[in-house]
Amino acid sequence: MMKKLLCVLLCWALLPCFAAPVWAAPVTVPAESAVLMEKETGTVLYAQNEHVPLAPASVTKVMTLLLVMEAIDDGRLSYDDVLTASAYAASMGGSQVYLEAGEQMTVEDLLKAVCVASGNDAAVCLAEGVAGSEEAFVARMNERAAELGMEDTHFCNCTGLPAEGHLTSAYDIALMSRALILDHPDIRRFTAIWMDSLRGGEFQLANTNKLIHRYKGATGLKTGSTDEALYCLSATAEREGMELIAAVMKAPSSDERFAAAETLLTYGFANYTLLAAGPDEVLPTIPVAMGEKDRVQPVYAEGAHILVSKTQAAGAEKDISLESAVSAPVRRGQQLGTLTVTSGGEVLATLPLVAGETVERLTYWEIAQKILRSSLFVS
């Protein structure tokens, strides 16, 4: 009897070790590496081996798309531009839309080919259109990765085709995915397509990202698979004004990568929300001493949202603290106070309240005139 009791007590004592990982992950996913990130704030909600460098396969094309969209936004490229496929671009293997050397296609259709069908030939054609050659384009990919803080990344091509040293991490995938969807929301015109066609309807396209068809709120983004990388995915979805990014690397099968992304996205939407820290009412103006204007209007800083758990959001309270008065000059964007958001006594965020305009200081002559007018009015 004593031996049985000791055995039961020992098993009971060991149960917590098997019940939860060391850092108490809220969910588990069948992948080597994974990250869940919220778009606006960049907050990481889940991480599993997030900085392990792995082969990304065609998820590489997230960076390719980012550079193409930047070229479009700054006028170096337009959707209507017609690019001519080089023999090199046409020679790409793997996923492709079977461009022929010398074939012409608009940037819009090439983007569609990359986003929907993961066309390697289309990706190289776009890269050559932006930078003149894939080599020059890849150099810019690595520069851009460094600018985004992608410390686990080195690109060797713009497609994700197998190459020694072509590596990134789930965290870095989330970073470049965030840059793409945050700064270039127009990419959704392509990444959210389920089925379409090219060449006047002669070539049919079906999105490699099956979540577009089956997951509520799915907006993109990019799949990838090779023998080395196994199955990778950057999946984005938006619900109730919050967009999430689920980066999954080295899942054992295609179905498991989609299941992993669904698990992460659903966890995020079920437990977190963006809380607008914007005004419940117009903020009072603040007196300005020696200024061209007597008062200045404080405003909330742009993008004033905070990511909170849904439990915290239910009890959130806002406390505003403003300067009683300021002296000119006052510069637009100058901090004039703070907004503190709390829930259950816990401070969730402290956000700046800033001047919505510039108020210059009066010159000595203007001060003298003002004093004179005041004295005349009194007399």
Active site residues: 58, 61, 118
Residue type (1 letter), 154:
H
The answer to whether 177 and 56 have CB atoms below 8 angstroms apart is no
Report strand pairing: 326-327 vs 286-289: parallel
Residues contacting 368, CB < 8 A, separation 6+? none
Q: Helix/strand/coil (H, E, C) string of 79-131?
A: CCCEEECCHHHHCCCCCCCCCCCCCEEEHHHHHHHHHHHCCHHHHHHHHHHHH
Distance CA 260, CA 34 (A): 9
CB 276, CB 298: distance < 8 Å: no
- 3-class DSSP assignment, residue 344: coil
- Phi and psi at 176, nearest 5°, equal -75, -30
Amino acid at 136: A
Are the beta carbons of 166 and 157 closer than 8 angstroms?
yes
CA neighbours within 13 Å on the CB side: how many for 256?
15
187 closest CA partner among 142, 219, 235, 140: 219
List, in order, residues 6 or more apart from 205 with CB less than 8 Å away: 97, 112, 113, 116, 117, 193, 195, 196, 197, 198
